[in-house]
Structure 1
């Protein structure tokens, strides 16, 4: 037999595109004479349909597509396809098992994901263990429930994504039923380093339950925020047999094992954070661009670390996409086939496409430095991006004078520091938005997670944008990633930004403003953030953990923790308004996906008072 797992790059509610991906994968599977193939979770409608799952038509549409489009394309093959199914007024997250054009079983998920970025119980009901029933649809009954499926030499059991992560998992009951093949259709979001954890789960499961285990995950930026790495693994009784390339730009991948072949052990995956970040954001930008049908990106390129990272990631989107898809298919997928005729023999496709897709502007004030200008200009030139430079002092002065006339006093840095800083950032926003609108392009905002923690960002200024690619990653990571990109990816212009101290460049030049002076060292901010936000410790608990491992004086450490918690509580309203961002780490501060916090609160007043007195 030949058995396989398949990944799919789907889009919520894209009935035509999603079904075509499944059908094309089935066509390829039949050419390879595959007997059984497992597709990802909720692959007909897409995992990220959100509250559309609460409608009464969506699941019916999925069922019609299953019967009318998928089934006719399953002659001489068996497959598992994910879809929602309503039964007795409850909606279930299910997998349809099809063999040779016939829908044999509908297997519902027993354990729902309800942590971090997942809210499945909002839409679905968990199926009860051992419960079996049937569903009547358009004159025909179909078996629905906790079934073991007999297929050739296999007894098949299902664990649908979260099912496999619970202590009391379905597999615990499979051995007594002599299950020797477990299929796991999943929609497991990307996070740096997460693939190794999944790999360990698949291998250990196949060993513990003495079976062959097939894992198949979704692929790409499906619905805007979540990235899926498209991981497919097959393991047998403790040996990893097959594993595919992650984060592919293709519409689907098939990972097939001929069970008649001698078992060959696949190379185990080792997480490399910098490469994972590079490939994940590049793919996410590619999918966001093509699925939103935008013409490209516009970026206010300050010459600093954050905007430089965003520019490099767009260039990497082009480079990696061309490498995997080829020029013609890449252009077709971003709806720009006509560019193929514009590229001459003397032009490099990467530079040509980046020039078409990425427009940058350095928007200077009298407080901007020549070094950041050179950093921005040289980077844009190296990657091929359009580069503009204009000053905004006139706009800043116009806004300032209007307020001064209204208040009947001059503004000063001693009295009006924050307002004078913010107006520069805000003055940049309307003109860069105008350019994005003219280009029908996505405006990239460059906020990172460290800034989101403490609100070190100007609302309607440097937060303005359509998409925030790095809002879920910390500044400490970004700084080291840029050095890696300079040396490993060979972006020589990054030598300029890597020599600079991160700075907003909003105060007068003589003050030598730096981000870490305004806030605290980024490594310390990261340490506090992980304990306070990811582990949800109190201020005193954070202090107790950090005082043993950080080199900071006790007073300075306390001050940093107090500052963090005060700024965190005060700036929730800013996080509520950030542009959509990609989930990249084990946690993020986006209240729409991972971290909900009240806009109004006491601001940890009592807890911080205790910390101030704590010995």
Structure 2
């Protein structure tokens, strides 16, 4: 008997796109058949998409998923297919994998552990299944095995750990599958992308294959499925603690199929890329999927010449470059719904001009340096570039308030008010440009600003989507220098020569972000302890005082500033535009970190810090 040929198929799905989701699965099955696969495994919830949110709670949605499964089964002749979908029984919904062998539904495997941390809220929708329990589900006049099942094919005994099942240490189902002497474990997943997360997965899959003495196959969903989470489409196969195969992550394709022949120990895994590469590839794919799935015509960006907006401009240009390289120009245009006859010999640059419109919105407090930085970068990328000043509008607003309150506003008394009105005045006009272009307005806030509220609500936070809101400023500054060289973006030279500044105070005040806040390198360390690790102000101080050369009193001052600004600015984080989850954590209350809008602001904890 020939060794079993298995396929893992990742797919880029969208909630409620029933026809599209089914077609991508069918195309992947056809591709697996062409490569003589005996068995193909799809990711978790591939029929519906993982990001269906409270649709899972309805009665009709899981029923529709089962009707899609019925449409799929006739296409499974001559192959075994494992595919994820929700199944409702009475008032409970289960996250399952259906196994179809040669056109016959053999059973449903139900997930036993729910992901409930970070970006995941699975207990809201799904009920965990009990180990060892198997029942009969009545469906289409037949009784189908349902629960904790394993299967046999061509002498191979195989079973499943569904995503979170594998991350539960000594209680995970894999140990029980080992006791049942399985030869192969599949892990169909919907595991969100985070930079360098692939290293954790690699260790887990290597450990699993060795500990359970089996082949271990992992397959993840692909793409920006429903707005915030990006799935990297990772596929891995391991045996005896060694990775035998791995695909390249974050593809722009609708699906990828990777074939493995069991018994073949040849190792040919794709390399693991640097964090900087992962950031730009994930962001590019996220923007591409958001653009086409929202059926928008392009992007509009208020380009200040500084680090944040420049990062986003480069990400859009990289979206075009990488998408065209992988898909080809014709397929790229087809996927975004654009018809265009190219007029130049540089179609990528011309395409950036069609998809990205930028505007520099200056005031009397803006410098020639930032204008030149913005203009040079836009021209180097091929983006449309406009510039105008908003002094007249700012003066109009200011004069109306001065007349109403009976006094002049001054920088000595009204600093924040005079800064904010500039940032806020930029919003209506850039929104006009987005509306005219039927385009997505890109917000430029980063995670460090979100931590401490260093952002103007309805100003620089305005936007349809906020691509870098989950990434800290320290990383962005580092990435821009990397991108100038490694991505061959010479237009970033001027950006990288500037000190980050909001340019909202008079130029003679020499305003800089780090003077207003604290060094970004320190801010990210405080954030890591306070938000990611959920440490108290006291713990944060005790840990950082041994890691930094700062005077203890100065360090205390920065820590107090962080916690006070964090607690008083939750209302801003509640209103940020949707953002991509790109790092190990973020501060979006809708996806990672919830915090009360009103609180005591750590006052007691900060007083204890003063008593040291």
Classify the TM-score, shorter chain. Answer: over 0.9
Task: State which of 94, 98, 104 in structure 1 corresponds to 2:106.
Answer: 104
Cross-structure match for 2:306: 304
Moved more, 3-12 or 361-370: 3-12
Encode CA deviations 1:246-286: one digit per residue, 9 max, x unaligned: 000000001101235x4112347435110000100000000
- Correspondence 1:365-384 to 2 at 5 A: 365-384=363-382
Cross-structure match for 1:581: 579
- Correspondence 1:350-365 to 2 at 5 A: 350-365=348-363
SS at the partner of 1:367?
Answer: coil
In the aligned structure 1, how far is the partner of 2:491 from the partner of 2:353?
Answer: 17
Cross-structure match for 1:133: 135
In the aligned structure 2, how far is the partner of 1:494 from the partner of 1:572?
Answer: 33
Task: State which of 393, 396, 413 in structure 1 corresponds to 2:394.
Answer: 396
Aligned 8 A contact 2:248 2:271 in 1: no
Aligned 8 A contact 1:220 1:283 in 2: yes
Aligned 8 A contact 1:240 1:268 in 2: no
Cross-structure match for 1:277: 279
Cross-structure match for 2:462: 464
Moved more, 79-88 or 180-189: 79-88
Cross-structure match for 1:195: 198
SS at the partner of 1:49?
Answer: helix
SS at the partner of 1:247?
Answer: coil
Aligned 8 A contact 2:394 2:425 in 1: yes
Cross-structure match for 1:171: 174
1:60 aligns with 2:51: no
1:313 aligns with 2:315: yes
In the aligned structure 1, how far is the partner of 2:185 from the partner of 2:77?
Answer: 23
Encode CA deviations 1:15-47: one digit per residue, 9 max, x unaligned: 011000000001111111110011000000000
In the aligned structure 2, how far is the partner of 1:142 from the partner of 1:350?
Answer: 52
Encode CA deviations 1:95-121: one digit per residue, 9 max, x unaligned: 000111111010000000000000000
SS at the partner of 2:564?
Answer: helix
Aligned 8 A contact 2:301 2:441 in 1: yes
Extract unaligned runs of 5+ from structure 2. none
State the 1:2 CA deviation: 1.1
State the 1:587 CA deviation: 0.5
Encode CA deviations 1:27-84: one digit per residue, 9 max, x unaligned: 11111111001100000000000011110000000001101x2101111000110000
In the aligned structure 2, how far is the partner of 1:218 from the partner of 1:134?
Answer: 29
In the aligned structure 2, how far is the partner of 1:489 from the partner of 1:214?
Answer: 33
Aligned 8 A contact 1:4 1:214 in 2: no
Cross-structure match for 2:435: 437
Taking only aligned residues, the RMSD between alpha carbons, in angstroms, comes to 0.9
Cross-structure match for 1:335: 337
Number of equivalences: 608
Task: State which of 407, 410, 413 in structure 2 corresponds to 1:409.
Answer: 407
- Correspondence 1:188-337 to 2 at 5 A: 188-259=191-262, 262-267=264-269, 269-336=271-338
Cross-structure match for 1:594: 592
Aligned 8 A contact 1:196 1:269 in 2: no
Aligned 8 A contact 2:12 2:255 in 1: yes
In the aligned structure 1, how far is the partner of 2:450 from the partner of 2:67?
Answer: 44
Give the TM-score taking structure 2 as reference length: 0.98
Aligned 8 A contact 2:157 2:184 in 1: yes
Aligned 8 A contact 2:87 2:94 in 1: yes
State the 1:176 CA deviation: 1.9
- Correspondence 1:494-505 to 2 at 5 A: 494-505=492-503
State the 1:551 CA deviation: 1.3
In the aligned structure 1, how far is the partner of 2:191 from the partner of 2:174?
Answer: 19
Aligned 8 A contact 2:248 2:270 in 1: no
In the aligned structure 1, how far is the partner of 2:240 from the partner of 2:16?
Answer: 38
Say if 1:271 and 1:609 are closer, same or farther in 2 by CA, change over 3 A.
Answer: farther
SS at the partner of 1:53?
Answer: helix
In the aligned structure 2, how far is the partner of 1:362 from the partner of 1:416?
Answer: 25
Task: State which of 600, 607, 610 in structure 1 corresponds to 2:608.
Answer: 610
Cross-structure match for 1:17: 20
1:525 aligns with 2:523: yes
In the aligned structure 1, how far is the partner of 2:239 from the partner of 2:225?
Answer: 30
In the aligned structure 2, how far is the partner of 1:10 from the partner of 1:221?
Answer: 9
In the aligned structure 1, how far is the partner of 2:298 from the partner of 2:395?
Answer: 32
SS at the partner of 1:279?
Answer: helix
In the aligned structure 2, how far is the partner of 1:271 from the partner of 1:609?
Answer: 45
Encode CA deviations 1:317-354: one digit per residue, 9 max, x unaligned: 00000000000000000011x21xx113x431111110
Aligned 8 A contact 1:486 1:494 in 2: yes
In the aligned structure 1, how far is the partner of 2:160 from the partner of 2:485?
Answer: 45
In the aligned structure 2, how far is the partner of 1:148 from the partner of 1:100?
Answer: 17
SS at the partner of 2:256?
Answer: strand
Aligned 8 A contact 2:76 2:102 in 1: yes
1:85 aligns with 2:111: no
SS at the partner of 2:50?
Answer: coil
In the aligned structure 2, how far is the partner of 1:363 from the partner of 1:239?
Answer: 54
State the 1:612 CA deviation: 1.1
Task: State which of 486, 509, 512 in structure 2 corresponds to 1:511.
Answer: 509
Aligned 8 A contact 1:233 1:255 in 2: no
Cross-structure match for 2:567: 569
State the 1:237 CA deviation: 2.3
In the aligned structure 2, how far is the partner of 1:7 from the partner of 1:270?
Answer: 18
In the aligned structure 1, how far is the partner of 2:91 from the partner of 2:571?
Answer: 38
State the 1:147 CA deviation: 1.1
SS at the partner of 1:48?
Answer: helix
State the 1:235 CA deviation: 1.2
In the aligned structure 1, how far is the partner of 2:173 from the partner of 2:271?
Answer: 26
Aligned 8 A contact 1:5 1:234 in 2: no
SS at the partner of 2:236?
Answer: strand
Aligned 8 A contact 2:357 2:385 in 1: yes
State the 1:88 CA deviation: 4.0
State the 1:122 CA deviation: 0.4
In the aligned structure 1, how far is the partner of 2:483 from the partner of 2:58?
Answer: 46
Extract unaligned runs of 5+ from structure 1. none
SS at the partner of 2:490?
Answer: coil
In the aligned structure 1, how far is the partner of 2:240 from the partner of 2:75?
Answer: 32
